[in-house]
Structure 1
């Protein structure tokens, strides 16, 4: 399941490394080409809201296999796109259908006792991190040698293969609830309103992940620009620096089980704030700049991914019968924040340069820190949480 999370989530992230190649191919501005990554993330947010609630209603095995098949077809269409408009449309469909990891996470949490849920989420999150990291390396290295279409076509083949494998390997499971589809969507919004701990997790991830997305969207423009003059392959290699977060995620899950999600969140917010300062070294150029970028990216990746473990462990403990809907509300908001971060990062870089992008990441982390220090405004902390509410009523 962790491997499946990594392979499928890569489809959202590898376009970030292809921005300069797409801009050159279609003769458009780099900031315009960055919209491909933005719409893929925005499509992912739409898919999270519209499709993930079905994980509480439908058997997950055929649902997961079907979504992967749709993703594979959309990736093929993107790789064969004759114009940027077709690429944008196909990228949106890829984002909408690539929600398989967010169906697997609540499924896995339901297979173990609550005392181990943090560790299990950390294991699957390690797979997600691996997919995210290798996605940028995959996109950058293959794009450099095969052109921008190569990564899309290879990803299409891998995703179709994954659909077949999961269709055969996943355990069967009955539907958790029997309710009309509109009711499931309404329940997602109701949970966001009723659950302070869900809103707390949402706010932490929207801010920190928004700064993360802004940084990665602008990084390709920085590395391939006049300050460094390197190819997109270098962007992919820099992504490998974040491999340390793969090993931290399972540990973060164990820390959540022992110390609570809030303690881990605080560490992650401080890591993101420190990372924003380290990333300003990118203004130096040369070896010193690359070292600073590598250190900042590693710390930022650790903060975002370990924070994700803490946030999802918190929300999955709220209402077991509504895990997919809780995850829908959380992840939809998180990727709306990521899409906004990508959009702001590209425009901040175009207008004011890399320093503005670092400032944007710092502001995002500071907003999360303010929310942590004022829990009454975003919901109680773990040790102040309300007792579990009754089972969600379905009308």
Structure 2
């Protein structure tokens, strides 16, 4: 059963706002690692485990909690999980030992999956012609939250200490609960089976939905490219010839935020009667152009910034298009489809970080550019292979 609701523009903008502020919880810890290491007298690599544990918690929450959106009323689930996120953030802020902080980091990650509940909610309550555009707007909020969170966290950590960032984040989430309770529409599920049947149905969708398989596989490699870049970029800019500080490197996220603003346009082009797959090829081309700029950048910060904008627009062209496509497959199973899609994407993100660091250790920035170019070409080949399969069917 679905509550009949027409989303207003203000509702979509609020969803984007909430999505960006909640997803930021996952990334606040990254600039705070040095401060945490000093307080608990740890090596920076040891303190850095909180970043991995937060991501691991997110992956677990994504797989176990997001599918429940097809089983329970989505608004209520969003409010409950956000309340748990507040408790986890307060636990981190009050941690007296590093072990407690590690446990809190896992919980913060697991309770920050609310954006992946808001996206299906927006898709479920959107008309067919507006669905892509609305998803794009919400995705813009998510991406700006990711890119801005590091700069905000670093500044707050320097001024007020690392615990203050978690306290502020808890306060923000408390405000969001009030806003979401007042403004978010209800969306009742249609799935009536057990949790075991719910989880089992995801594997049947993998088997029976070729578009889901294609979108997830392409996104896997797209996330390798984008996360490989953002991880390795820090090493490139921190070393000669640039030797930028951490604060200066963080400012490059502004360029990434500019690229994120392309998401609504991509989403609009992906909806309605348009052929969305052409946007994916545009994304591949933009990725290749950006890597060429990175390779020939030399001392030109301007060309590097242009490359960042292009690679993020390319990522939006691929990601938002694929997400819009999967939401049209089985409307009553959007949370489960999103779980499959995003789980595969975040595995790609983890692989991208590892690949980027390995390529850097082997041959520096040039080797990274070679490896990422090969990854993009592989993704194009997968795209062409599925083109033949889908059209043949």
* TM-score bucket of the superposed structures, by smaller chain: 0.7 to 0.9
From the superposition, tell whether residues 173 and 323 of structure 1 become closer, same or farther in structure 2 (CA, over 3 Å).
Answer: same
**Structure 2 partner of 1:184:** 198
**Structure 2 partner of 1:133:** 147
**Structure 2 partner of 1:274:** 289
Separation in structure 1 between the aligned mates of residue 94 and residue 43 of structure 2, nearest angstrom: 21
Partner SS state of residue 259, structure 1: coil
Question: Which of 263, 287, 291 does residue 302 from structure 2 map onto?
Answer: 291
Alpha-carbon RMSD: 2.7
Map of 1:218-237 to 2, 5 A cutoff?
A: 218-225=232-239, 228-237=242-251
Q: Is the deviation greater in 243-252 or in 86-95?
A: 86-95
Does the aligned pair in 1 maintain the 2:282–2:317 contact within 8 Å? no
Partner SS state of residue 208, structure 1: helix
Q: Is the deviation greater in 77-86 or in 102-111?
A: 77-86
Partner SS state of residue 14, structure 1: coil
**How big is the shift at 1:173?**
2.8
Question: Which of 323, 342, 348 does residue 312 from structure 1 map onto?
Answer: 323
Cα deviation, 1:327-371, whole Å, max 9, x if unaligned, reads: 111011111111222233344445654444434433332221111
Question: Which of 283, 293, 300 does residue 311 from structure 2 map onto?
Answer: 300
Separation in structure 2 between the aligned mates of residue 86 and residue 109 of structure 1, nearest angstrom: 37
Q: Check if 1:326 corresponds to 2:337.
A: yes
**Structure 2 partner of 1:98:** 112
**Structure 2 partner of 1:112:** 126
Question: Which of 261, 277, 282 does residue 247 from structure 1 map onto?
Answer: 261
Count the aligned residue pairs.
378
**How big is the shift at 1:315?**
0.4
Separation in structure 1 between the aligned mates of residue 53 and residue 296 of structure 2, nearest angstrom: 29
Separation in structure 1 between the aligned mates of residue 41 and residue 234 of structure 2, nearest angstrom: 17
From the superposition, tell whether residues 175 and 181 of structure 1 become closer, same or farther in structure 2 (CA, over 3 Å).
Answer: same
Cα deviation, 1:355-389, whole Å, max 9, x if unaligned, reads: 44434433332221111121168x52xxx386xxx
Separation in structure 1 between the aligned mates of residue 42 and residue 86 of structure 2, nearest angstrom: 26
Cα deviation, 1:122-141, whole Å, max 9, x if unaligned, reads: 12112112212221221233
From the superposition, tell whether residues 298 and 4 of structure 1 become closer, same or farther in structure 2 (CA, over 3 Å).
Answer: same
Map of 1:1-395 to 2, 5 A cutoff?
A: 1-19=15-33, 21-22=35-36, 34-82=48-96, 84-225=98-239, 228-257=242-271, 258-280=273-295, 284=298, 288-349=299-360, 352-375=363-386, 380=390, 384=391
Does the aligned pair in 2 maintain the 1:20–1:221 contact within 8 Å? no
Gaps of 5+ in 2: 1-14
Separation in structure 2 between the aligned mates of residue 88 and residue 346 of structure 1, nearest angstrom: 24
Separation in structure 2 between the aligned mates of residue 302 and residue 358 of structure 1, nearest angstrom: 18
Q: Is the deviation greater in 22-31 or in 63-72?
A: 22-31
From the superposition, tell whether residues 351 and 148 of structure 1 become closer, same or farther in structure 2 (CA, over 3 Å).
Answer: farther
Q: Is the deviation greater in 19-28 or in 153-162?
A: 19-28
Gaps of 5+ in 1: 387-395
Separation in structure 2 between the aligned mates of residue 372 and residue 297 of structure 1, nearest angstrom: 23
**How big is the shift at 1:254?**
1.8
From the superposition, tell whether residues 369 and 266 of structure 1 become closer, same or farther in structure 2 (CA, over 3 Å).
Answer: same
**How big is the shift at 1:218?**
3.1
**Structure 2 partner of 1:393:** none
**How big is the shift at 1:67?**
1.0
Q: Is the deviation greater in 227-236 or in 362-371?
A: 227-236
**How big is the shift at 1:54?**
0.6
From the superposition, tell whether residues 349 and 35 of structure 1 become closer, same or farther in structure 2 (CA, over 3 Å).
Answer: farther
Cα deviation, 1:276-312, whole Å, max 9, x if unaligned, reads: 2323356x4xxx3533432222112112123221011
**How big is the shift at 1:12?**
2.2
Separation in structure 1 between the aligned mates of residue 25 and residue 155 of structure 2, nearest angstrom: 15
Partner SS state of residue 186, structure 2: coil
From the superposition, tell whether residues 300 and 22 of structure 1 become closer, same or farther in structure 2 (CA, over 3 Å).
Answer: farther
